[in-house]
Each structure stands twice: as structure tokens, then as C-alpha cells.
Amino acid sequence: MNFNSKILLIEPVTHNVIRLIISKPGNFDFLPGQAVEIEGHPFTMISQPEDLVLEFIIKTYPPKLFPNHSGLTESFLFKKPGDNLTLSSPFGTINYQGKGVFIAGGAGITPFLSIFKMLHKKDDLKDNKLIFSNKTKKDIIMETELRNFFDESDLSLTLTKEKINGYDFGRINEGKIKKFFNPDMNFYVCGPKQMVADIKSIIQKLGAKPNSIIFEK
């Protein structure tokens, strides 16, 4: 089933990420962590089911910097409030199934943002953990909000291309995961395909239960 919507707001979040807010169609219901297809391309909502609008965080690839990349994300750079969009029904396998370790790479944080907002609103985010990897500090999506959501001891912001005090350095590896590992917790993983595969392998090696690993299938 398709839904019709209109763009209400587009604004920058980081140097290559935008916030998109669109009208919420009638009878449109979803779970935190789910996505929709906009004009045939999948994007995850970061808003809450009870919100009156739908909000997305979208990484863009400006044509001048990425001449070989094509897709809807580039067209958002030229869209404006009032433009029409077509949405699919919500879908996705990432949803909250209890306390856990969230592991994200880059734009892979987006399915988790709606979940974090839901838990924060319920005052139930405590004891969840987040490991979030980015190339540089300027690439971190919604860093201020994440630091507000999580206690310092439950949050690891790691950078792979620069070393800065207050941030971990290097790719997410067994050592970084061990810091938060508990075999009785859930593990939520989202990011580039190879990263997800590598992290699943590490988590399983450490002794996680197969049904405790939640990722986009």
C-alpha cells in the first residue's frame, strides 16, 4: 500500500546529512526502528508513532563529490517544502526486544534513534549501551542527543580517521565489544553489510545467543 505525503522541512544536520520532515498520512502506523520506501528507496523514521509528522535523517552524496553515486539521496538536495512524495507501508526487522548493546556504523544509527527516543520518554534507556562508529567527529549524527540519552559509561563514540580526546579510536573490534558484552543481553546491529557480518561473527564468538542478535535482514 502506498501513501501520499508532502515535504514540510529540509535542513542540514551534519556536513552530509539532512533532516527531512514530511506530513504523516492518515492511518499510517509503525513501530520504532521501522522504515519506509520513499519514491522506491528505503529510509528509517526517527520519529515516534504518536508524532503528527514523520521525521528522517538521511545521508546525502553531493554530485560534485560523488559523481558516480546516483539515487534519491541526491535529489533531496534539490527538493523543497511543498513537494509531493510517495511512501510505502512500514517494514523492517529491527525493533526493541529488551535491554541490549546497540552497535552502529555511520547512517546505521538511524533505526536506533526512534527506539532511543521511545525509551528515553519512558525513562527506560538506562542499562542499554551504544557503540557508534564514524570516520570523523563531524560525521557523528545527533551527537548532542546521544550524549544526553546515554550515561558516559554506556556510550562509546569511536572514530576511524582521527584521534580526539574523549572519543575512542579505530574500527569496532572484539576489544571494543567486550567492554559492553553480556551474554544475557540483546545485540542490535546496523551499518554497512560487511561491518554487520563482522560484528555478528565477533558477538557469536563471544557467546551471544543466536536469537539475541537483531539486525536488518
Model-level pTM? Answer: 0.92
pLDDT given for residue 135 in this prediction: 95
Q: Note the pLDDT of residue 68.
A: 59
Torsion angles phi and psi, residue 100, rounded to 5:
-170, -175
- Three-state DSSP state, 6: strand
Predicted pLDDT at 217:
73
Output the pLDDT for position 96. Answer: 96
Every domain of the chain and the residues it spans: 3-87, 100-215
**Which residue did the predictor score with more confidence, 39 or 43?**
43
Q: Give 203: exposed, middle or buried? Use CB within 10 Å, 0-12, 13-18, 19+.
A: buried
Mean pLDDT of 165-171: 95
Q: If you write DSSP's letter for every residue of 129-155 in order, what string do you get?
A: EEEEEESSGGG-TTHHHHHHHS-GGGE
> What is the mean pLDDT of the segment spanning 64-73?
57
pLDDT in tens, 6-35: 999 999 888 888 899 999 999 999 999 999
**What would the mean pLDDT of 163-180 be, rounded to a whole number?**
96
Spatial neighbors of 122 by CB under 8 A, at least 6 apart, are none
pLDDT at 69: 53
Q: Which residue has the higher pLDDT, 68 or 24?
A: 24
Tens-place pLDDT, residues 106-151: 999 999 999 999 999 999 999 999 999 999 999 999 999 999 999 9
Lowest mean pLDDT among 43-57, 59-73, 145-159: 59-73
Contacts of 99 (CB under 8 A, 6+ apart): 127, 128, 185, 186
CATH number of 100-215: 3.40.50.80
Architecture per CATH, domain 3-87, reads as: Beta Barrel (2.40)
